[in-house]
Structure 1
Amino acid sequence: MTTERAVTWVLAVALLASLFGVVFFAANPPTVTEPFTEFYILGPDGSATDYPTNLSVGESGTVIVGVTNHEHEAVSYTVVMKLDNETVGERPVRLGDEETWEGEMSFTVEEPGRQRLRLELYRGEVSGEPYRSLRLWVHVT
């Protein structure tokens, strides 16, 4: 009978220790990710297709730009749209942690040929190198 009692106490202590461990980790979850920001573009219909890549001179193209903040703090961003290194749009965006912003940005092509549409994301003001950047080639006829 003493052996059974000892086994019961050992199992009870193990169960209590497990319970305290579960409660501790539930109350203090570990940080699972490094801080980062998602930066993406979508076509005008809101999907990752049908980008305005074939336009005529004088025609406008529209993309949906998205930013999701996973930086573990509120961040002010600036989105800059450039067509062949000329700024054609700029938008300030302030996001709390885990917030997402999506907005339409448009551009108009004035010259024929292959042109590079570049979207740059800056943390704060526009200066130095962008925090993130995206590129889309536009063929203009």
Structure 2
Amino acid sequence: MASGTLQASPWMATDRTHVEAVLLATSLFLLLATASAIALVQPVGPDRPTELALVDDQGTAAGYPTELAVGEEGRTVVQITNNVDESRRYTVVTTLDGRTVSSGTVTVDAGSQRRFPVSITPEGPPGRQRFLVRLWTGDETTGQPDLSVRIWVNVTESSD
């Protein structure tokens, strides 16, 4: 009578290794196919058809006022970038603490950007005030804006 040990067939190990290798190869193929498909359908270029930013005179996202006294004038530059293949007209409204600072329309050519300065003069009271730039495509300003940018301005008492 044979002892109580069981010997595995060399074919079982080979079959298992073969199955694992096939599964691994199939998984790698599917991973590469999925990655290639994603790369092919991703749009080339910017993620958004329109971009809105507050910048300095050189186009860098910096230099906007964060500390102003009541009655002191601060300045920033609004930059609109149109990434589509046609000119677009935009309406821009800027507010400081809910008070309209400026509003108007601007047309940006296809694939171009426009910059324009905006002055900010807090009327009071001292405290943290929100400067908000809202942008709508077209002439309407109803409903939610297409894009918006905000900064917080710390307003202090005037030294006068």
1:46, distance to aligned residue in structure 2 (A): 4.7
Q: Is the 8 A contact 1:43 1:62 kept in 2?
A: no
Instruction: Report which of the two has the higher share of strand.
Output: 1
Residue 32 in structure 1 maps to residue 44 in structure 2: yes
Are 1:136 and 2:151 matched, yes or no?
Answer: yes
Q: Secondary structure at the match of 2:82?
A: strand
What TM-score, normalized to structure 2? 0.63
Report the Cα offset of residue 122 of structure 1.
0.8
* Residue 35 (structure 1) shift: 5.7
Aligned to 1:84: 97
Segments of structure 2 that go 5 or more residues without pairing to the other structure are 1-42
Rg: which structure is higher?
2
Query: Could you tell me which of 31, 40, 43 is aligned with 2:56?
Result: 43
Report 1:1-141 matches (<5 A): 32-33=44-45, 36-43=49-56, 46-111=59-124, 112-125=126-139, 126-141=141-156
Q: Contact 2:88–2:109 (CA<8 Å) still a contact in 1?
A: yes
TM-score, L = length of structure 1: 0.71
The whole-number CA distance in structure 1 between the counterparts of 2:48 and 2:64 is 29
State the alpha-carbon separation in 1 of the partners of residues 91 and 136 from structure 2.
5
1:32 is displaced (CA, Å) by: 3.0
Name the aligned partner's letter for residue 138 of structure 1.
V
Native 8 Å contact 1:74 1:96 kept in 2: yes
State how far apart, in whole Å, the 1-side matches of 2:104 and 2:97 are.
Answer: 18
Number of corresponding residues: 111
Q: Please state how far the C-alpha of 1:74 moved relative to its aligned partner.
A: 1.5
CA apart distance, 1:134: 0.3
* Equivalent position amino acid for 2:82 in 1: N
Query: 1:39·1:65 contact (CA, 8 Å) conserved in 2?
Result: yes
Render the CA deviation track for 1:30-85: whole Å, top value 9, x for unaligned: x7356611111113665322321100010111110000101222110011101112
The answer to whether the Cα contact below 8 Å between 1:35 and 1:72 also exists between their aligned partners in 2 is no
Give the Cα–Cα distance (whole angstroms) in 1 for the partners of residues 58 and 73 of structure 2: 15
Structure 1 residue runs without a partner (length 5+): 1-30
